[in-house]
Amino acid sequence: MNLADYNRIHFIGIGGISMSSLAEILAHEGKTVSGSDMKASPLTQHLEESGIKVCIGQKAENITPDMELIVYTAAVSADNPEFIAAKASGAKVIDRAELVGTLMLTYKYPISVAGTHGKTTTSSILTEIFLEAGTDPTISLGGVLNTIGGNFRIGKNDYFVVETCEYRDSFLKFNPHSAVILNVDKDHTDYFKDLDHIYRSFNTFAKRLPEGGTLVINSDIKDVERVTDGVKAKIVTYGTKGDWTAENISFNAAGFGRYTACYKGEKQAEIALSIPGLHNVYNSLAAFAIAKVYGLKTEDIVKGIDNYKGVDRRFQHKGEFNGVVVVDDYAHHPTEIAATINSARSGSAKTLWIVFQPHTYTRTHDLLDEFAQALSKSDKVVVLDIYAAREKDTGLVHSKDLVEKINALGGAEAFYQPSFEAAEEFLKNSCQSGDILITMGAGDVFKLGESLVK
């Protein structure tokens, strides 16, 4: 497919963080862009202010005869009336992943950042590095980075940094020159049958890299050779072992890491982070390694890492109420939750509160024991109702099941709250000055923390 052949492009689900950035990139290239979403949001408002027509509500009549290319997000169901009308319209209909893959082909060095966790942080650090190096990159992130004023940036046609999601094998339609694979973990169980299925998908993705490209991969991935088997591209490893390692790791009182970046045992640079946690030591090391693939200067890489102060919804300080520090974090998988709790533990909080909003019924059901184990490492846990996202409640699992599991472990004390209002009142009466409270999840739980701060 050649994007030059299409001028009127419509997005079904344009309010998504990735879809909105793609819409703006194409609008910037002179395309006539429109879209729809189920509900209004700051992103849809921004798109409209940018001159892009957005319909709220997904209806068949949103599809018009003049549309030449229609792009839909993976969250759109087969019985969506607008999607059905699109299929019958005569326009070319593709999913978001195919559009990204096609767009990648218009750049000299498209770079994918993949993995179950840490993609947004690592992509954002890499963005800071490429900006510091003066490469004028094009960027597509899964979070809002203040440095670029949003989740995307339009630059020249050399470097294109793309946060790359594995859900529904969407990344198998991407065409990167090089890629980072941060980790491989069980997730998206509404699509992937098991962990073996996930490993096969990451291996297929890695084998898409050309011979002249490079795969930077975490050597600490269990059975990492299952991912690298048959890969034509050059393989560079990082982690506690491998080509790139982080030596002399230490943390300050805020939990921010410091370390020596080494390549094959030779010191390359001293790194000081402005974000907490051991996991972010290795996220930044991965960014360092891929930047070196493209010959960027060490001093630019170090300064770029130093410039990174975090993105929205990644251990983001929101404010305080009654002396309680409120942080928001996007963690919605047990591994991510454990990493966030470990980061918070490096501070001096009196009591660590987690307000957790589970994300999707299938993930909650299939990883229920793992969620309980991870959350039990905090002190107090408030569990809200499950955020359905793309799913419907079939009675498979309830948040109360998670509360029971946590309490049975004998670590943290867990409470179920049926609404944001009930949770807010409970927290106001229960939290003490000096505590830290983290709103956690991929849904809209951040609104609760913002309400408490207000």
Catalytic residue positions?
119-120, 163
Q: Which of 391, 343, 340 is nearest to 364 (CA)?
A: 391
Instruction: Tell me if 74 sits within 8 A of 167, measured CB to CB.
Output: yes
Q: How far is residue 339 CA from its own chain's centroid? A: 15
Rounded distance between C-alpha atoms, residue 303 and residue 30, angstroms = 35
Rounded distance between C-alpha atoms, residue 126 and residue 139, angstroms = 10
Rounded distance between C-alpha atoms, residue 207 and residue 202, angstroms = 9
Q: Which of 235, 221, 1 is nearest to 115 (CA)?
A: 221
* CA dist 264 → 35, 238, 243, 250, 268 (Å): 49, 10, 5, 21, 10
Sheet-wide strand order for 234-239: 150-153, 138-145, 159-163, 109-114, 178-181, 214-218, 234-239, 244-251, 256-263, 266-276
Within 13 Å, how many C-alpha atoms sit on residue 232's CB side? 10
